[in-house]
Structure 1
Amino acid sequence: MDEPISVGPVLVAVLVLLTAVGAVVVWVGRVGAGRSVVVAAVRAAVQLAAVSLLIAAVLRSAWWTGLFVLMMFTVAAITSARRIGGLRSAWRAAAPIGCGVAPVLALLLSTGTVATRPVVLIPVAGILIGGAMTATSLAGVRALDELRARHGEYEAALALGFMPRAAALEICRGSAGQALIPVLDQTRTVGLVTLPGAFVGVLLGGGDPIQAGITQLLVLIALLAAEAVAVLLTVELVAAEMIGRMDRGEVGRIARAGR
């Protein structure tokens, strides 16, 4: 039986070529730093190589599996914190991710919908944590950008008697909600536009198409729930000035500066 992915020098050449194309397009189009594409690709290669070597040992132990999931969660929180407002708020960025993932994962495991075997738990937890991380980062960045751009409206809301949190929510809630667009679009178009990773993974692992479809549906609905909670809590934390580069009253200071 032929392998689904041919591993060899040709694969390496294709990966290098695709990375170069992405970097050149970003650089020529001035839509970012071409170097960031190269760095991301190299990091992905190194990290996946390390994980591939580590995962065999992790899968043999429930304790190692738990530590591996905790490591994924920690890296996700740090990544979102750096994107939103720096490492000082990492523990706050962890709250939306944790509150989105923990109840969803607990429901899946407690009902037996998802097996507790490490080989199943790790990828499912990774998908949920990754989705919640992305939603948290997008919601936080969008909310903070909106508050900075519309500081005059924030001040006007305060003048009308709104409390600071309510005024901030009026400004940033709508734009932050756009962080759900990727998972909503993916769910709406699954099977029509794309065949996401869980579906393809089950097929490549020898599963039948029905099982692949059920697995993908479960993952997408679970992601919707986890990301919805993450976005909501992120917006609340931003409005309460507890997360992001606008900590400690910066929302109010920006509003006053706009007078």
Structure 2
Amino acid sequence: MLAAAALLPVNATLAVVLAVLLVAAVGVAAVARLADGRGRGHARSIAVAGVRAAAQLAAVSAVIGWVVRAVPLLLCFVGLMFAVAVRTAGRRITDNRTWWWAAVPIGAGVLPVVALLLLTGLVPLKGIALIPVTGILIGGGLTATVLGGRRALDELHTRYGEVEAGLALGMADRDARLEIARPAASDALLPGLDQTRTVGLVTLPGAFVGMLLGGESPLLAGAVQLFVLVALLAVQAVAVALVLELVARGVLHRGEGEPPGPGRFARRSRTLNGAEGE
């Protein structure tokens, strides 16, 4: 059995290698001018993410042994994880006040799965088991919500003319937006699907490797990893479906106090139709 310390010793060499890799990532992003759709470069974001990850993991490593001793502290820690995920996902999708609606797709995906695990006894109400499992599920819901929400809004912005055409044919605002945004938002499921399809052939995910390093049998490690992947598929499917619905209804948008472009076009079309009928 390969011990974790032998696989990746925590020493000065590790720190130097991590710094080099982070600098390389920042350099490539800067040279290639990698940026999001709003022109914000990713070089600085990569640097900040790397430093934040180091600080946050150090803090979690220091407190996790303390919070698992009592259920109230454990639940507070899980609540903090959820709040950070909602804030991160929401601000990735929009800069306005509607960002907090990201809590709906993430929560609706994660909470039923966690409740099922606790009620069936598959995961005990203990931090050493609940925190990592919940963290994996929240992380999956976050990723699906961000990808689904951003792609749906980008598609509506790019193809607003097609949405307007649907409105002109008598479609409801929600239905017209869904027709355009659904295929793009659905692509948010592809990373999870590909990971599940290729597990064991292309990659050995973290849960599997972690259990092997902890001394568990390959059979048990495989069973746990299968559970994680299937649970993530359920969480992400719910998250994508709900974030798409929120975008289609104009609840989650990028305008300042105004639903996405199609809503404005719908009102304009109704106004013109009313004027023509006079």
CA contact (8 A) 1:96 1:229 kept: yes
Q: Percent identity?
A: 53
Q: For each residue in 1:63-98, what CA deviation from the matched residue of structure 2 results, as whole angstroms up to 9, or x when unmatched?
A: 111000000000011111101113622431100000
Q: Which residue of 1 aligns with 2:127?
A: 118
Q: Which residue of 2 aligns with 1:249?
A: 259
TM-score (norm 2): 0.89
Give the match's secondary structure for 1:130. Answer: helix
Q: Which residue of 1 aligns with 2:176?
A: 167
Q: For each residue in 1:92-143, what CA deviation from the matched residue of structure 2 results, as whole angstroms up to 9, or x when unmatched?
A: 1100000000111111221122232210000000000010011001100000
Q: What runs of 5+ residues in structure 1 fail to find an aligned partner? A: none
The size of the alignment, in residue pairs, is 258
Q: Which residue of 1 aligns with 2:34?
A: 31
C-alpha deviation, 1:249, in angstroms: 3.0
Q: Which residue of 1 aligns with 2:272?
A: none
In our comparison, the structure showing a higher alpha carbon Rg is 2
Distance 2:112 2:263 in 1: 37
Q: 1:130 to 1:250 in 2, by over 3 A?
A: same
Distance 2:213 2:265 in 1: 54
Distance 1:87 1:124 in 2: 31
2:105 to 93, 96, 99: 96
**One-letter code of the match for 1:6?**
P
CA contact (8 A) 1:78 1:87 kept: no
Q: What runs of 5+ residues in structure 2 fail to find an aligned partner? A: 36-41, 269-278
Matched, 1:7 2:16: no
Give the match's secondary structure for 1:162. Answer: coil
Distance 1:87 1:128 in 2: 26
Q: For each residue in 1:209-256, what CA deviation from the matched residue of structure 2 results, as whole angstroms up to 9, or x when unmatched?
A: 111101100000000001100000000000000013146333335647
- Aligned 1:50-129 pairs, distance under 5 A: 50-86=59-95, 88-129=97-138
CA contact (8 A) 1:81 1:87 kept: no
